[in-house]
């Protein structure tokens, strides 16, 4: 079984061991294993492989369940990482899921986080959930992997209708890769860029 599928299997197994309300666990599994979510993660993993992305000190913003950092560590793309997650239950769950490597999720908003000077990679696959203000604090020279969507949802406050519109929000960044993924009911946009 390849890393991607074994990571998904391991992720599901953690819900048998982590103390969580069964209804919340059901919703989490339903949403995180949806076609669009798994296709988006697979796209990001393949992008990291194609671009040979390696990080010693990564930051994941709005990492939700912590599955993507788990996958990226298993693929040897990242060695150590900090997660920033406003929802305490998922900050705690991600710490449980990622307990076997150098990972620590912090339960706070990105506006309250100060980047370590050694941060070399920032991953934000939840750009639709926040304004673009967080981009101002990104350290110069830092590589970013970003994903957003044009899916209309009550929790999405920063929807980009097209890839071109998403790229237009990144004026202070050197674009290294961009792609659009058709997830049936919505499009997912992936961008790799570097802060100038």
Taking 70 as the threshold, does the pLDDT of residue 1 lie above it? no
pLDDT score, position 70: 97
Closest C-alpha among 110, 134, 127, 195 to residue 165? 127
Query: Which neighbouring-strand residues pair with 183?
Result: none
The model's pTM is 0.93
DSSP assigned state of 101: S
* C-alpha to C-alpha distance for 2 and 30, rounded to whole angstroms: 22
40 or 128: whose pLDDT is higher? 40
What are the pLDDT digits (tens) for 86-132? 999 999 999 999 999 999 999 999 989 999 989 999 999 988 767 67
Q: What are phi and psi of 93, to 5 degrees?
A: -60, -45
Q: Compute the C-alpha angle 19/42/181, nearest 5°.
A: 120
pLDDT score, position 152: 64
pLDDT score, position 185: 81
């Amino acid at each position: 079984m390849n890393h991607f599928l074994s990571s998904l299997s391991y992720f599901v197994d953690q819900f048998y061991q982590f103390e969580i309300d069964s209804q919340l666990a059901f919703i989490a599994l339903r949403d995180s294993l949806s076609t669009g979510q798994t296709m988006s993660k697979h796209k990001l993993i393949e992008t990291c492989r194609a671009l040979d992305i390696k990080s010693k000190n990564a930051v994941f913003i709005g990492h939700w369940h912590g599955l993507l950092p788990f996958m990226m560590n298993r693929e040897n793309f990242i060695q150590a990482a900090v997660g920033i997650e406003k929802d305490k239950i998922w900050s705690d769950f991600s710490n449980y899921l990622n307990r076997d490597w150098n990972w620590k999720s912090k339960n706070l908003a990105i506006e309250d986080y100060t980047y370590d000077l050694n941060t070399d990679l920032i991953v934000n696959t939840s750009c639709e959930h926040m304004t673009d203000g967080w981009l101002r604090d990104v350290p110069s020279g830092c590589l970013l992997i970003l994903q957003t969507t044009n899916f209309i949802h009550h929790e999405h406050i920063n929807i980009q209708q097209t890839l071109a519109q998403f790229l237009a929000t990144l004026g202070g960044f050197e674009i290294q890769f961009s792609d659009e993924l058709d997830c049936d009911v919505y499009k997912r946009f992936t961008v790799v860029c570097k802060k100038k």
